[in-house]
Each structure stands twice: as C-alpha cells, then as structure tokens.
Amino acid sequence: MRLEEIKEIAINHPDQLEINWDKLDSDPKYKQDFEDIVSKSLLMLPTIESIYLKLTHGENITFEGEATSLDPEDVERYKDIVEDELFSGYQMLDMYSRYLAVENVIKA
C-alpha cells in the first residue's frame, strides 16, 4: 500500500481521534501537555514513513543503499506493524491539524 493510501484510510476512518475541548479549555497544564506530546509524537512520522518505504522497496533499514537481509515473511510482518503505526500517526496528524485550525480561528 502507498503512504497516500494509508493516510487517506486513516483520515476517513469512522473512528477518529477526538479532542477533549472542555479539558483543553479548562486546564492550561493539560493543554500544554497535549500540545507537547502530540507535536513530539508527530516528529517521528517522517522516520516511520522512511522505514515503511525501505521495507516496501526491499532496502536495508539500517544501512543505506543495501538490500534487506529479512526474509519475505518478516518483511510482510514488519510492514504490517509499520502500517499500523502510520495509520495511528496519520490520525494523530489529522486530529492535530483540526486542533490547530480551531486554535487559529479562536486567536484571530
């Protein structure tokens, strides 16, 4: 599956990540923790995408330009695991984008 397909499925999935607006509005510490945790988590998304692309193309994840030493079954198993992480990451990215959009409107 392509990254764009995983992203589209994640964003359009019926079980979206919900934002607890009441808690964000009433607890500044919670809001700061929320922003810190989500933004730091999203920093890992490009790395996860890179790992997925390398697995998909049969490349070694650790050593640039080398073929993978994994057997095909392991490649598929790890691809499934990384797809799940990408799915979660893309849902978090979508949720955070919605959050930032509302915050920008409130601040304007």
Domain boundaries, the chain: 3-107
Q: What is the mean pLDDT of the chain?
A: 94
Longest Cα pair distance anywhere in the chain, in angstroms?
Answer: 54
pTM reported for the whole predicted model? 0.89
Which residues of the chain fall short of a pLDDT of 70? none
Amino acid identity, position 74: D
pLDDT digits (tens, 9 = 90+) for 32-47: 999 999 999 999 999 9
**Two tokens, residue 69:** 């030493």
**Two tokens, residue 12:** 């359009």
Amino acid identity, position 84: D
For every residue of 29-93, DSSP letters joined together read HHHHHHHHHHHHHHTTHHHHHHHHHHHHTTB-SSSTT-B--S-HHHHHHHHHHHHHHHHHHHHHH
